[in-house]
């Protein structure tokens, strides 16, 4: 691959017209801006070099560069993009997101180092460093496209940047990147990148992309880009490849964070629960009454039901959304007969194409990994204000452990407990931490949810999230991911998982297999606005790509028949939710048809609040339940 001086190319992109325009917008002289860019570019390039010494970091850089946030036309568009304050803010935001994903470091961290070098206020350097990061990734993306470069080429390319950053890295900058000082960075980075180059080139090569079966209007309209000086354009014969590569980027731009939300929803949230004091519980099971105290516990057992595919990283089993009549003295257990079928509208692809969202772009078969539904637990207040604890566990033994822990918890006496048993969920590893997980129940207004190793802090806990996160992290250890649910992050992660999976399916001979197509579509988020039945703009591009693929399959004699099911959370009137979910399912179908999908291959149904895949007690759970589910139509 031809080499590029990323520092020089980034500096060149901030041309004199751009600097003059920025000067007008933000009130700094063109000379100061030139100096700031000259300081920021080497720091940012060095941060990429530091990240690329590991296979994971190298993959993250490649994914960020291939994502739609990286603009390969940045050189020709920068004057236009900096003409207004909104454009400058968009560049800063994109640069921060790209750098964070590629290196794990926020722009603010490196912006502080640039501020120290330039003497400019931190606020100004954060904005400008974010812009420089956006330009750097655009320049890098343009170069990789022209050179048809794979992820394995990155370490060597970044190793060649040492001369450009040499002497521009201070001790504090090096320390921010994990080195003892600037000398260690200078002394070791070349050899470590060399080792990374040998490691990635020794790995099995991923098969070259096959010719795409369909070109969406978005991809077909992709512009030919002039060279980003001083980047070499490459041979004229590469322009055909460039057009395809741009399509591949549209289809396959990726970030690595795992989406936690099922099907059409988003992040399944990061839930939790907690524990503290002691008391006793009374529970009535199918085999009789076990007298252990006075906690209300309405446990629902669904012993043998297969889990429905809920989304990207996990196929979450439904958690009861309602509440049974509670008694302060005893708890009744209702037994639900085992059923051999998944819930209506749920995707039936769990056995054929389990879904994963955290895969690197270099992995050859992102849809062939097995996933198992995770055990869940959530507590909070129901819509009626009743304190509730809901759980999905594997068997009676796990349920008894939970009830025993509740018996030791002083706050549990006023909590209505609803437990479902499902033999298909994974064993709840967090059961060994129940006293720690249930402790926050003593906080008025507390809510949290745990699914697998992900814990969502909600309600009153979210207001002091840093304190509770630190406390639970110490108690549970680094295996657990503890955070406040963020819908935007969940949506971004879900979209990235969808794009990666769609890029893969386009390249394989399974692109016209209905369960596989449904599985990929279930990775995305179709985030309808509140009370809206209109397909959001954020989902239109991905749905258009799917429609074009369906059309190509039908034209080739391999029609893909799908059902579209829409679900809601439990907020609001049940009948209104049912009607709105039908409207949303129909809106998705209508959009796909308008984008080219054959109308006779799509059906749409709304199910309202039925079949929740997570507890409605937290924001993340409700977000997970508001979803669109695609399933193969067996007609």
pLDDT digits (tens, 9 = 90+) for 47-88: 999 999 988 889 899 999 999 889 999 999 999 999 888 889
Cα–Cα dist 296/294, whole Å: 7
Q: Give me the pLDDT at residue 371, please.
A: 57
More confident residue, 552 or 222: 552
- 68-82, 148-162, 314-328: which has the minimum mean pLDDT? 314-328
CA trace torsion 157, 163, 168, 173 (10° rounding): 40
Q: Give me the pLDDT at residue 635, please.
A: 65
Cα–Cα dist 609/599, whole Å: 27
Q: What confidence tens digit (pLDDT) does each residue in 568-617 have?
A: 999 888 999 999 999 999 999 999 999 999 999 999 999 999 999 999 99
Burial 283-301 (b: 16+ CB within 10 A, else e): bbbeeeeeebbbbbbbbbb
**What is the Rg, in whole angstroms, of the alpha carbon atoms belonging to the chain?**
26
Summarize the confidence of residues 459-486 as an average pLDDT: 90
Residue 35 in tokens: 């100096």
Q: Which of 333, 265, 269, 328 is nearest to 298 (CA)?
A: 333
Cα–Cα dist 431/395, whole Å: 12
Q: Which DSSP helix (H) or strand (E) runs through 171?
A: helix 171-176
Going by pLDDT thresholds of 50, 70 and 90, the confidence category of residue 560 is: very high
CA trace torsion 14, 16, 21, 25 (10° rounding): 60
Cα–Cα dist 547/104, whole Å: 35
Burial 391-429 (b: 16+ CB within 10 A, else e): bbbbebebbbebbebbbbbebbbebbbbbbbbebbeebe
Q: Give the chain's mean pLDDT.
A: 75
β-partners of residue 220 are: none
Q: Which of 262, 59, 215 is nearest to 152 (CA)?
A: 59
Do residues 258 and 497 touch, judged by C-beta distance below 8 A? yes
Q: Which DSSP helix (H) or strand (E) runs through 555?
A: helix 537-555
CA trace torsion 115, 120, 125, 131 (10° rounding): -120
Contacts 24+ apart (CB under 8 A), 116-125: 116/170, 116/172, 117/39, 117/170, 118/32, 118/35, 118/36, 118/39, 120/28, 120/32, 120/36, 124/26, 124/28, 125/36, 125/40
How far, CA to CA in Å, does 412 sit from each of 96, 301, 354, 392?
Answer: 43, 21, 37, 18
Q: Give me the pLDDT at residue 53, please.
A: 92
Q: Give me the pLDDT at residue 538, please.
A: 85
Residue 58 in tokens: 């190298």
Global pTM exceeds 0.85: no
More confident residue, 484 or 635: 484
How far, CA to CA in Å, does 318 sit from each of 339, 511, 609?
Answer: 14, 29, 11
Q: Pairing state of beta strands 299-302 and 416-421?
A: parallel
β-partners of residue 281 are: 292
Burial class for 264, CB neighbours closer than 10 Å (0-12, 13-18, 19+): buried
Q: Which DSSP helix (H) or strand (E) runs through 393?
A: strand 387-393
Q: Give me the pLDDT at residue 545, please.
A: 87
Q: What are the structural domains of the chain?
A: 6-252 (no CATH), 281-487 (3.40.1520.20), 499-632 (3.30.1330.60)
Residue 48 in tokens: 């990429």
- 121-125, 306-310, 623-627: which has the minimum mean pLDDT? 306-310
How far, CA to CA in Å, does 125 sit from each of 89, 105, 290?
Answer: 13, 15, 65
Burial class for 598, CB neighbours closer than 10 Å (0-12, 13-18, 19+): middle
Cα–Cα dist 535/504, whole Å: 25
Going by pLDDT thresholds of 50, 70 and 90, the confidence category of residue 332 is: very low
- CA 94 from chain centre, in angstroms, equals 16
Q: Give me the pLDDT at residue 15, please.
A: 94
Cα–Cα dist 451/307, whole Å: 14
* pLDDT reading at 108 higher than 90: no
Summarize the confidence of residues 202-223 as an average pLDDT: 36
Summarize the confidence of residues 173-184 as an average pLDDT: 86
Going by pLDDT thresholds of 50, 70 and 90, the confidence category of residue 367 is: very low
Do residues 402 and 431 touch, judged by C-beta distance below 8 A? yes
* pLDDT reading at 334 higher than 80: no
Summarize the confidence of residues 381-385 as an average pLDDT: 80
Summary count for the chain: helices (H), strands (E): 23, 14
Cα–Cα dist 294/280, whole Å: 6
């Amino acid at each position: 691959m031809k080499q590029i001086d990323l520092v020089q190319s980034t500096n060149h992109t901030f041309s004199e017209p751009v600097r003059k325009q920025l000067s007008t917008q933000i009130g700094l002289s063109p000379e100061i801006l030139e100096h700031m860019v000259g300081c920021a570019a080497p720091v940012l390039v060095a941060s990429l070099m530091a990240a690329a010494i590991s296979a994971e970091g190298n993959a993250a850089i490649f994914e960020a560069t291939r994502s739609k946030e990286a603009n390969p036309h940045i050189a020709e568009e920068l004057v236009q993009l900096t003409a207004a304050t909104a454009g400058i803010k968009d560049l800063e935001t994109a640069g921060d997101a790209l750098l964070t994903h590629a290196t794990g470091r926020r722009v603010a961290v490196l912006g502080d180092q640039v501020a120290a070098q330039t003497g400019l206020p931190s606020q100004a350097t954060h904005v400008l460093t974010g812009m420089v990061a956006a330009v750097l990734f655009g320049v890098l993306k343009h170069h990789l496209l022209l050179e048809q470069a794979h992820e394995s080429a990155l370490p060597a390319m970044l190793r060649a940047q040492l001369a450009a950053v040499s002497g521009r890295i201070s001790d504090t900058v090096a320390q921010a990147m994990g080195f003892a000082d600037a000398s260690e960075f200078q002394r070791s980075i070349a050899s470590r990148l060399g080792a990374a180059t040998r490691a990635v080139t020794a790995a099995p090569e991923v098969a070259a992309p096959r010719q795409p079966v369909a070109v969406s209007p978005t991809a077909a309209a992709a512009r030919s880009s002039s060279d980003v000086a001083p980047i070499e354009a490459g041979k004229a014969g590469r322009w055909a490849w460039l057009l395809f590569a741009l399509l591949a980027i549209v289809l396959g731009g990726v970030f690595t964070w795992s989406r936690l939300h099922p099907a059409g929803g988003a992040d399944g949230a990061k839930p939790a629960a907690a524990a503290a004091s002691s008391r006793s519980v009374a529970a009535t099971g199918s085999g009789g009454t076990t007298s252990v105290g006075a906690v209300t516990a309405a446990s629902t057992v669904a012993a043998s039901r297969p889990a429905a595919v809920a989304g990207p990283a996990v196929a979450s089993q439904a958690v009861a959304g309602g509440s049974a009549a509670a008694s302060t003295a005893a708890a009744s257990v209702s037994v639900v007969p085992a059923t051999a079928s998944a819930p209506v509208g749920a995707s039936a692809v769990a056995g054929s194409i389990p879904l994963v969202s955290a895969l690197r772009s270099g992995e050859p078969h992102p849809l062939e990994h097995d996933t198992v539904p995770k055990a869940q637990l959530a507590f909070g207040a129901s819509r009626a204000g009743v304190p509730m604890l809901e759980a999905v566990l594997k068997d009676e033994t796990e349920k008894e452990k939970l009830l025993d822990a509740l018996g030791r918890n002083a706050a549990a006496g006023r909590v209505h407990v609803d437990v479902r048993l499902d033999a298909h969920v994974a064993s709840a590893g967090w059961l060994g931490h129940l006293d720690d997980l249930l402790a926050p129940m003593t906080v008025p207004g507390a809510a949290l949810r745990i699914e697998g190793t992900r814990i969502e802090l909600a309600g009153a806990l979210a207001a002091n999230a840093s304190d509770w996160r630190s406390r639970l992290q110490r108690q549970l250890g680094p295996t657990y991911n503890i955070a406040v649910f963020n819908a935007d992050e969940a949506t971004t992660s879900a979209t990235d998982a969808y794009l990666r999976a769609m890029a893969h399916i386009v390249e394989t001979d399974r692109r016209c297999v209905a369960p596989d197509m449904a599985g990929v579509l279930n990775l995305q988020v179709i985030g309808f606005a509140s009370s809206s039945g209109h397909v959001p703009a954020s989902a239109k591009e991905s749905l258009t790509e799917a429609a074009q693929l369906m059309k190509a399959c039908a034209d080739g004699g391999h029609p893909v028949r799908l059902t579209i099911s829409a679900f809601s959370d439990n907020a609001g009137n049940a009948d209104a939710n049912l009607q709105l979910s039908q409207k949303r399912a129909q809106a998705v179908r209508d959009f796909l048809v308008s984008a080219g999908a054959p109308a006779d291959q799509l059906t749409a149904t709304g199910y309202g609040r039925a079949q929740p895949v997570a507890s409605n007690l937290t924001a993340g759970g409700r977000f997970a339940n508001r979803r669109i589910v695609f399933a193969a139509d067996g007609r």
